[in-house]
Amino acid sequence: MVEEVESNGLADQTGLIASGISLSFGGQKVLDSVDIHLEPGRVHAITGENGAGKSSLAKVIAGIYRSESGSISFNGANLNLKDPRSALTQGITLIHQEPLIFPDLSIGENIFAGNLPKRGPKIDWDLVFQRSRALLDKLGSNLDVRTSAGTLSIADQQMLEIAAAMSYEAKVWIFDETTAPLTPTEVARLFGLINELKQQECAIGIVTHHMDEVFTISDDITVLRNGKKVVQLLTQNTTKNEVVSHMVGRELDNQTQCAERTDQEIAFQIQNATGPGFQAVDFTIQRGEIFGIAGLVGAGRTELARAIFGITKPTSGQLKLDGQPYEVNNPGEAIKAGVVLVPEDRRGAGLCIEQSILDNTTLPGLNRFASKIGILSRNKAITTVLPKLDDLATKYQSLDQPVGQLSGGNQQKVVLTKWLLEEPKLLILDEPTRGVDIGAKADVHRQIRHLASQGVAILLISSDLPEVLSLSDRIGVMRKGEIVGTLAAAEATEALVVSLASGGQG
């Protein structure tokens, strides 16, 4: 069976064949002689860790980046993809993770932008609206094509991009992490569409690092690592574990490593606190303890974190840090007191994306790198920052590289480094590994444990239940703003936490 498919693959020139694709940015090789064959009527998952080069490969195929070498052919004919237009007109389309629409234009024009049908020298507006209506009908949407697109949800915006691609009658579709902003229902609808395209003999590529998606929808899998193709697999003949080990290229330590804790002094205490989004919250965290908070979305976890960090204020209750009353009016005071929050939204709230790694990491504590008269010492900053970054196995080219160029996992490591330099007493982590690939996740986990072993109290908020279970010494489960149960690591199971969080039978 396997051999049959592979021998067919060699002889078969149908579909899109990219071979020997290489790309570098600023001297760093992003893609190194990568081959991929997207066959008609098959879904090909392109997977790998963040920074492995999957999105770059997709962008080369869509004509957004130009490959430095190699060739791309479709059904045996060589393509010259010099810009997105040439890819589009040859039936290759890329659906991006974040849709970008034209807010001031009508929905119909949004779908046909760059491809407006003409009658004689004039745009045929009747046809624009008629055809966009038909496309949206096909996608099961009843949006009014004549209204402006300004207020659409992300899912609807994505649908406009899909409709736009359909208007080109695309034969090659690449979906780049398109499920990230979607709800489960919307994901199901998208997968339905992908299956339909498959029926129509389109060649489909999906860029994703979610194993569940890979195994739900794909027929073939190509794994990239550090810009190189590692392996191509048939989905039906492989397992998640095999794919993951190809992605990471090393063994993961994902095992629980909770040493038995001896009683330590209490670092942080919150007593009967009520505030916006939470009520009657009561817990303590010892020095060196990881206290996980689990709960469904909207259970009040983030609200609690924001109140502790001084963004909002608890209306009642008492907070103590190192035995001293802890009352702060804003995050600045919280940081000064030794409480640090690593926010969920890295790009928006955690980093200055255009600034260098060095600038980002030294920002909160600039004074520490300054001489008496306030002149910053670059050497002092570098010698402080470097070991911390290396502790986390951060991958970067130079400390002067803008953090925007780093992959998601490495960006998160920069955020962590920044706050570690503050030597916090209490570190609040809000979804520390969301959108981070498996390898980087393990690095971040290791660092969290390392910090705890140095005596930092850690409040871990995460929707990733296995993460909470494997990292935490104790777990508080929140539901509707209250902590409905506190479990020790030894007794906590996924089932127990879920039943507490959802209010099921415990």
H or E element: which one contains 496?
Answer: helix 494-502
Question: Interaction with another protein in 217-276: which residues (CB under 8 A)?
Answer: none
DSSP 370: B
Choose between 84 and 277: whose C-beta lies nearer to another protein. 84
Which of 318, 328, 249 lies closest to 284, judged by CA?
Answer: 318
Least separation, in Å, of the C-beta of 65 and another protein?
12
Of 164, 334, 406, 487, the one binding another protein by CB under 8 A: 164
Residue 30 half-sphere exposure, CB side, CA atoms within 13 Å?
21
Q: How far apart are CA 494 and CA 294, in angstroms?
A: 10
Interface stretch with another protein, choices 144-152, 271-279, 354-362, 370-378 (CB under 8 A): 144-152
Least separation, in Å, of the C-beta of 404 and another protein?
14
Choose between 80 and 115: whose C-beta lies nearer to another protein. 115
Are 173 and 16 in contact, with CB atoms under 8 Å apart?
no
Q: Does 122 bind another protein (CB under 8 A)?
A: yes
The backbone torsions φ and ψ at residue 333, rounded to the nearest 5 degrees and listed phi first, read -65, -35
Choose between 69 and 89: whose C-beta lies nearer to another protein. 89
Are 416 and 447 in contact, with CB atoms under 8 Å apart?
yes
Of 96, 131, 171, 418, the one binding another protein by CB under 8 A: 96
Q: How far apart are CA 224 and CA 47, in angstroms?
A: 6
Least separation, in Å, of the C-beta of 349 and another protein?
22
Are 94 and 88 in contact, with CB atoms under 8 Å apart?
no
Q: How far apart are CA 332 and CA 310, in angstroms?
A: 8
Q: Does 353 bind another protein (CB under 8 A)?
A: no
Q: How many residues does the chain have?
A: 506
User: 3-state class of 434 per DSSP?
Assistant: coil
Choose between 30 and 62: whose C-beta lies nearer to another protein. 62
Q: How far apart are CA 102 and CA 148, in angstroms?
A: 9
Choose between 64 and 386: whose C-beta lies nearer to another protein. 64
Choose between 63 and 439: whose C-beta lies nearer to another protein. 63
88: CB partners within 8 A, 6+ apart: 63, 114, 115, 168, 170
Q: How far apart are CA 210 and CA 70, in angstroms?
A: 29
Q: Does 404 bind another protein (CB under 8 A)?
A: no
Q: Does 77 bind another protein (CB under 8 A)?
A: no
Choose between 30 and 88: whose C-beta lies nearer to another protein. 88
392: CB partners within 8 A, 6+ apart: 413, 416, 417, 443, 444, 447
Interface stretch with another protein, choices 28-36, 112-120, 337-345, 428-436 (CB under 8 A): 112-120
Q: Does 169 bind another protein (CB under 8 A)?
A: no
Q: Does 148 bind another protein (CB under 8 A)?
A: yes
Q: Does 85 bind another protein (CB under 8 A)?
A: yes
Exposed / middle / buried, residue 374 (Cβ in 10 Å: 0-12, 13-18, 19+): exposed
The backbone torsions φ and ψ at residue 208, rounded to the nearest 5 degrees and listed phi first, read -160, 155
227: tokens are: 């810009």
Q: Does 174 bind another protein (CB under 8 A)?
A: no
Interface stretch with another protein, choices 81-89, 248-256, 417-425, 462-470 (CB under 8 A): 81-89
Least separation, in Å, of the C-beta of 343 and another protein?
25
Interface stretch with another protein, choices 6-14, 87-95, 363-371, 461-469 (CB under 8 A): 87-95
Least separation, in Å, of the C-beta of 411 and another protein?
20
Q: How far is CA 481 from CA 279, 302, 368, 408, in A?
A: 6, 10, 39, 30
User: Which amino acid would we find at residue 312?
Assistant: T
Q: Does 26 bind another protein (CB under 8 A)?
A: no
Q: Does 127 bind another protein (CB under 8 A)?
A: no
User: 3-state class of 317 per DSSP?
Assistant: strand
Of 69, 147, 397, 453, the one binding another protein by CB under 8 A: 147
Residue 196 half-sphere exposure, CB side, CA atoms within 13 Å?
11
Least separation, in Å, of the C-beta of 234 and another protein?
32
Q: Does 156 bind another protein (CB under 8 A)?
A: no
Q: Does 114 bind another protein (CB under 8 A)?
A: yes
Interface stretch with another protein, choices 98-106, 233-241, 301-309, 314-322 (CB under 8 A): 98-106
Least separation, in Å, of the C-beta of 353 and another protein?
15
Q: Does 89 bind another protein (CB under 8 A)?
A: yes
Q: Does 116 bind another protein (CB under 8 A)?
A: yes
User: 3-state class of 100 per DSSP?
Assistant: coil
Choose between 164 and 244: whose C-beta lies nearer to another protein. 164
Q: How far apart are CA 83 and CA 62, in angstroms?
A: 8
Q: Which residues contact another protein (rule: CB under 8 A)?
A: 64, 83-89, 94, 96, 99-106, 109, 113-116, 118, 121-123, 125, 146-148, 150-151, 161, 164
